Amino acid sequence: MSMVSNDLILNRDVFQRDPLTYTIPNDGVTKVGPITTEDEWAVARYELENFVCKGSYHRGLKNILESFLYNLDQPSQPAIWVSGFFGSGKSHLVRVLEFLWCDLKFPDGVSARDVCMLPDDVRDALNELTIESRRHGGIWSAAGTLSAGSANDPRVAILQVVLRSAGLPEDIDTARVHLWLAELGILDAVRDRLREQGRKRDMTRPFVSRKFAEALIEFNPDFRGMDVEQVREDLRRQFGADFHMTNSTMVEMLKDIFAMKSTVAGKMPLVLIVLDEVQQYLTIGERSDQLLIFQEVVEDCCKKFGSKVLFVATGQDALHANIQLQRLQDRFSLQVPLESKDVDVVLRQTILRKKESMKEPLKGVLESVSGEISRHLDGSSLAPRPGDEDVLVLDYPLLPTRKRFWERVLQSVDRGGMSTQLRNQLRLTFEGSREFAKDPVGTVIPADFIFNQQSTYMIRNNILYPKIYESISKEDDGTKEGRLRSRIMALLFLIQLLDESIGIRATPDTLTDLLITDLTAGSEDLRQEIPTHLKDLHDRGVIAKVGDEYRIQTEEGSIWEGDYQQRKANARASDTSITFKRDEVLRNCVAKRLGSFSLSQGVSRTPRGIDITYFTPQRPEIRSNVPVWLRHGWEVTEAGVKSEAAAEGNESPMVMVFLPRLNHDALKDEIAGLLAAEGVLSERPAPTTPEGDQARSNIEAKLRGHMQRIDSLVDEILKNAHVYIGGGTPIEADSFAGAVRKAAEQAVQRMYYRFSDADATGWDRVITRVKSGDWTPMKQIGFEREPEEHPVCKEIL
């Protein structure tokens, strides 16, 4: 197939559904509960039409339905626990389950099962469910979020979910009145009468409404002959008195509600109760009493209603993974875990789905720019991976590296473990696809696109401070250059949110990797342009430079930066400060490389130690440990150290180490910066404003940068270090620590040159045998001759 020129193809042309021709009605957010408005009907239709019944979603639906059908003849139903990180689609799955359960009918007559694309096994299970419902009292469902109400008592919270779904008031006392009217068969008549009178709201005011009382008198023969006040008093006495919610009273209310919804008098309908965000409700404040009540309520309902009621609950953790929730495992025995890869499945099957006819042309364009794509974020944990090529077409116009970048940003701005990853990625990907829909194929969504999409959330949660946002926005003066400067600053802010271990460094190359949009044009022009803008922003004090990286700078940050620069200049001018700090740095680095240094000698593995003397002109004394004398090129020459080592003689155990004077200017500059950063952080008052926090963060970044570069410079010094032993013999090994150890081992032999005469294991047994009168005690150390002939015994005797 010949490749179609990308000049003839726009991004919008490759999608199965042109992103400019539709919107996401629910903005990627799923709300579990009754449908009450026209917009909510549109959202429900969209969710069903775009439900991707694959992967965990397919397995979840299939297992839930088949489990219910299998257990219909059993004493009770196992409850279902749907788990997955926030935004993984738990709410979406259980909401679709509820729609399909009752085969929700839309105003135009179309049903849920008609508009939802389902595998045959799921559709077969739904058909069987319909058949079973005819043998019982029909089919009904209730769904909602436990925290949607104001109840701290799980019994009341569950009841309110069911009441809302049944079209009944949430207030328990008022609901009891309505259920009583339903039992009498006059609920609809009373409701219609009040609606005719324009007093619909009086249905929720049974204890005070005159019109409600009048309707009762009209339709209930027991109240005829009573006046309004007598009726209200009777209602207050029956239903308005102090009512104590128990498991039994809750079950009785549920029984009345199910009877209302039954299509066959005296028969239970097949009931689905979906409780969303159960974990969040039960574990806030670690309320163990709520957890216990919730567990008991579900168990009591399952016993009372047998296998006709199915509970489905959601939470971000698997039950076994959360200590508090583990007690629910016996009741919620069927668990449906959703996986992170399902987010990708949803995106690729909905917003990012491509026309079959456009996959090859798109693949050809991406292959032609593979060199550019493969260089992005090199050296970081987000860099291109072997499997990226398989998803380039599927994820286009979002590059895999940028997708991983977005995921890390969303995790970083997450507050309280509530990252709504699926809904965020749905919205971000959709808006990005719309933004660049009219551009030629080869134009991708830049990484900074997420900034504007998330800025409101970040400001509201004190992640992005208003002054920083204002500084970023102000750079966009309407010109192409101003827009790029603003985008650079936005990206700098996002990079600062990420953990340093990811390896994303705010250098010109990294910024270009993340900002380029037109891959077919290449990035060379942008790579030349960005350093110019960075210099301009830095010269104006808008951003700070830390080594070869850049960071956002605030007005207060400029003050901290000025303090830092002044201290750095003072430190550079002070040879005493530099010398003292340099010796400290070298000493710490040597100690770090050597670690816990220990030696052992002979077959008896007798421990030997070393004594390190740092940077003194005076020769250390030789005692019981191996002497290691360290000096550096700032105080003595290598020739001098070698000469002194030779003068020690070949029997001396003295180990001499010379650290060469390398990278003098660079090391001095980094040490001056380190002293300056330490001074600013220790002596300036703690910040009390967000801008102050940002300023301090910039100095902390400088401190870490100086320490890292010092470590690198010292590492080079240690790699070029020279180790000598007495007599001037150079000792070589694969590493600095290896050379010192090798020299120390030779020094031990020199210090204890007669150690081999006594080296053996078992001397403690020799002493014991001597004390017991044994005439051949030396056999304990393998010496078969007379004791007087052993070198140690000779010395003693």
Residues 6+ apart with CB under 8 A from 408: 382, 498, 499, 502
Q: Which residues of 235-274 are buried (b: 16+ CB within 10 A; e: fewer)?
A: beeebbeeeeeeeeebbebbebbbbbbbeeeeebbbbbbb
Q: What are phi and psi of 102, to 5 degrees?
A: -95, 0
Asked if the model's pLDDT at residue 785 lies above 50, the reply is yes
Q: If you classify domain 34-153+251-353 with CATH, what class do you get?
A: alpha beta
What would the pLDDT profile of 626-685 be if each residue is shown by its tens digit? 899 999 999 999 999 999 999 999 989 999 999 999 999 999 999 999 999 999 999 988
For residue 726, the number of C-alpha atoms closer than 13 Å in the C-beta half-sphere is 20
The count of C-alpha atoms lying within 13 angstroms of the C-alpha of 583, restricted to the half-sphere facing its C-beta, is 13
Token pair in block for residue 470: 């204002």
Among the listed residues 323, 135, 168, 347, the one whose alpha carbon sits nearest the alpha carbon of residue 261: 168
Q: Report residue 408 CA to chain centroid gap.
A: 7
Encode 395-425: b = buried (16+ Cβ within 10 Å), e = exposed.
bbbbbbbbbbbbbbbbebbbeeeebbbbbbb
- State the sign of the Cα–Cα–Cα–Cα dihedral 492, 496, 498, 504: positive
> Which residues share a beta bridge with 610?
626
CA 223 to chain CA mean position, Å: 62
Residue ranges covered by each domain of the chain: 34-153+251-353, 171-244, 354-553, 577-751, 760-796
Question: Is the confidence at residue 412, as pLDDT, over 50?
Answer: yes
In this predicted structure, what is the pLDDT of residue 423? 59
Reported pTM? 0.62
Residue pair 372/449 in contact (Cβ under 8 Å)? The answer is no
- pLDDT of 287 strictly over 60: no
pLDDT of 797 > 70? The answer is no
Predicted pLDDT at 685: 87
- What is the CA angle 49-53-55, rounded to 5? 150
Give pLDDT, residue 4. Answer: 42
Confidence of residue 547 (pLDDT cuts 50, 70, 90): confident
Q: What is the DSSP string of 660-714?
A: ---SHHHHHHHHHHHHHHHHHHHHSPPP-SHHHHHHHHHHHHHHHHHHHHHHHHH
Helix (H) or strand (E) segment spanning residue 588? helix 575-594
- Mind listing the pLDDT tens digit for each residue in 718-751? 999 999 999 999 999 999 989 998 998 888 888 7
Q: Which helix (H) or strand (E) holds 723?
A: strand 722-725
Question: What is the structure's pLDDT at 508?
Answer: 96
In terms of pLDDT, which residue wins out, 182 or 85?
Answer: 182
pLDDT digits (tens, 9 = 90+) for 171-211: 888 999 899 988 888 999 989 999 999 988 989 898 888 98
